Amino acid sequence: MKTALVTGANKGIGFAIAYGLGAAGFRVGVGARDDARRSGAVDALRAGGVEAFGVALDVTSDDSAAAAARFLEAEAGGLDVLVNNAGIGGRTDGGAQDPTTLHLDALRTVLETNVFGVVRVTNAMLPLLYRSTAPRIVNMSSDMGSLTLQTGPQMAAYAPSKTMLNSMTAQYARRLADTKVIVNAGCPGLVATDFTGHTGERTPDQGAQVAVRLATLPDDGPRGGFFNEAGPVPW
């Protein structure tokens, strides 16, 4: 049985991705930083028939990422799919994400999770992924990071964090071009979660679909792209 790790899987789109990967036949590691929220999600997934297990993981901590990799090695013997889903919008009060009054601490905080967190967790997990027969990495991005579309509310910390995540996705794909590791970025669309104050029209299950597809690409699937459910998203 193949093993997947989904970061930020205790709720929202990450939980739905965990469910979707479980339905696709994966054993799913529920990456979450809070013990109670993590075990609640594991219980809910198991009740839904998913072979889920908890992985303590705060993506902002080097030690936590390293410990999670050691745990996966011991618990599952390896890793086949990594979905970097954990993300934050960052504070918006007091013009914190108006570019003309941007709070640099807000920018740093968002980058620490949405970009540095992805690099930290990916690099901790790559030694396990290299041993898989069909390793896949999915970075959950947003069309708000598209320089072409320039869409959604103006959020001058969050949107550039996803632009950088897209660029980082391309960097990994180039570096891993001669390996079995396939890396892509996905956009879930506007989804009703805590993140959006439940304003999105799409359900978490709908938002999760692109991630499940990119996590289960065939060996000749696309590399280094940015996709939503309908196809490529412009950078």
End-to-end CA distance of the chain: 35
Please report how close the Cβ of residue 170 comes to ligand NAP at its closest, in angstroms: 18
Cβ–Cβ under 8 Å, residues 191 and 204? yes
- Segment near ligand NAP (CB under 6 A); pick from 47-55, 82-90, 122-130, 166-174: 82-90
Q: Is 208 among the residues that bind ligand NAP (CB under 6 A)? A: no
Tell me how far apart the alpha carbons of residues 13 and 184 are, in angstroms, rounded to a whole number: 17
Q: Is 59 among the residues that bind ligand NAP (CB under 6 A)? A: yes
Identity at 36, one-letter amino acid code: A
Q: Is 2 a catalytic residue?
A: no
- Which positions ≥6 away from 43 have C-beta within 8 Å? none
Say what angle helices 117-129 and 158-175 make with each other, to 10 degrees: 30
Nearer to ligand NAP, 27 or 37 (CB): 37
Q: Is 162 a catalytic residue?
A: yes
Size of the site for ligand NAP (CB under 6 A): 31
- Segment near ligand NAP (CB under 6 A); pick from 30-38, 43-51, 69-77, 97-105: 30-38
Cβ–Cβ under 8 Å, residues 228 and 144? no
Q: Is 58 among the residues that bind ligand NAP (CB under 6 A)? A: yes
Q: Is 39 among the residues that bind ligand NAP (CB under 6 A)? A: no
Residues 98-117 contacting ligand NAP, CB under 6 A: 113
Give the three-state DSSP class for 5. strand
Nearer to ligand NAP, 33 or 223 (CB): 33
Point out the catalytic residue in the list 2, 158, 172, 180: 158
Please report how close the Cβ of residue 43 comes to ligand NAP at its closest, in angstroms: 15
Among 30, 76, 81, 140, binds ligand NAP (CB under 6 A): 140
Tell me how far apart the alpha carbons of residues 86 and 82 are, in angstroms, rounded to a whole number: 12
Residues 146-185 contacting ligand NAP, CB under 6 A: none
Point out the catalytic residue in the list 130, 162, 172, 180: 162
Cβ–Cβ under 8 Å, residues 68 and 43? no
Give the three-state DSSP class for 84. strand
Tell me how far apart the alpha carbons of residues 86 and 93 are, in angstroms, rounded to a whole number: 22
User: What is the pairing mode between strands 27-32 and 136-140?
Assistant: unpaired
Cβ–Cβ under 8 Å, residues 86 and 59? yes
Among 5, 18, 21, 57, binds ligand NAP (CB under 6 A): 57
The binding site for ligand NAP (CB under 6 A) comprises 7-8, 10-14, 32-34, 37, 57-60, 85-88, 113, 140, 142, 187-188, 190-191, 193-196, 200
Catalytic residue list:
158, 162
